[in-house]
Structure 1
């Protein structure tokens, strides 16, 4: 399929782990589909005229209340959705970040994120509802920390 025949959604996410090995997650409320609600990494859709990095910083602040500085690029993932009237391809970019200010608490009003929390990284897999971006982001972080064989 030619690129003119589908829509593209670009999203950026931050993987933020504190010294106690807790990861910052945001609760996506599923919007109009509450059955899809899940823990996610802070991040989301990048605006049309926005640099990806600026969009990640903005999204993290909206969803967690923290101001961050990106300090590393981890990688990408893609997905496709052919169930829509017009197919869509999603491109997701993952970064590491460090907190430089702010306080825990979402700044979105009536948005898609209800809250943010620090959760132990070792317990993430056991959470009842986790978006795939969490697994992807943590796997990318682990791969970066593991020396090549």
Structure 2
């Protein structure tokens, strides 16, 4: 299913749902960030997706990361909660979501990189090479919040 992300766009469609979602920033021992090349919007992103009924935030984050990257992870912290009403996500099936995403940090415990129906590539990207990739502004914001060493509290929007 294809998707289009709108940010601060007056032409964005009106949302018809809010779905709790998770995203995970995973770094390796050299500081690189685990990224996927999404198949639904052709953008680079951190792993993540909608929570399923009956699962916790932690369980959803572990499941989504495994599904999209092939890696098992454990959650290590909270980057923030992202609820920007000006970030609208429109899906080809007619669903139009208003953003609600909890971004966590994680570390790899097992597995190896593999793609899925949601990811055409899985890479460990050096932080100083992120600007070369087509990454949505909402994901760049989460990464920036993680990398900002002056931040003492998780982001809350």
Give the TM-score range, shorter chain: 0.7 to 0.9
| Superposition TM-score, scaled by structure 1 size | 0.78
Match of 2:98 among 89, 100, 115: 89
Q: 2:22 is matched with which residue?
A: 12
- Alpha-carbon distance, 1:142 to partner: 2.0
Unaligned residue ranges in structure 1 (runs of 5+): 31-35
| Superposition TM-score, scaled by structure 2 size | 0.74
- Alpha-carbon distance, 1:119 to partner: 1.0
Match of 2:42 among 15, 37, 54: 37
Cα RMSD, aligned residues only: 2.4
Q: What CA deviation, in whole Å up to 9, does each residue of 1:119-146 have, x standing for no partner?
A: 111110121x112343122122123x22
Q: 1:33 is matched with which residue?
A: none
1:21 is aligned to 2:31: yes
Single out whichever of 59-68 and 47-56 deviates more from structure 2: 47-56
Go from structure 1 to structure 2 and tell me whether the alpha carbon gap of 1:39 and 1:19 turns closer, same or farther (over 3 Å shift). Answer: same
Go from structure 1 to structure 2 and tell me whether the alpha carbon gap of 1:87 and 1:112 turns closer, same or farther (over 3 Å shift). Answer: closer
Q: How many angstroms apart in 2 are the aligned matches of 1:89 and 1:68?
A: 27
SS across alignment from 2:83 = strand
> Does the Cα contact within 8 Å between 2:145 and 2:151 map onto a contact in 1?
no
Q: What CA deviation, in whole Å up to 9, does each residue of 1:21-61 have, x standing for no partner?
A: 2110011012xxxxx31100011111122212101100101
Q: How does 1:103-118 map to 2 (within 5 A)?
A: 103-106=112-115, 108=116, 111-118=117-124
> Does the Cα contact within 8 Å between 1:74 and 1:95 map onto a contact in 2?
yes
> Does the Cα contact within 8 Å between 2:26 and 2:107 map onto a contact in 1?
yes
SS across alignment from 1:67 = strand
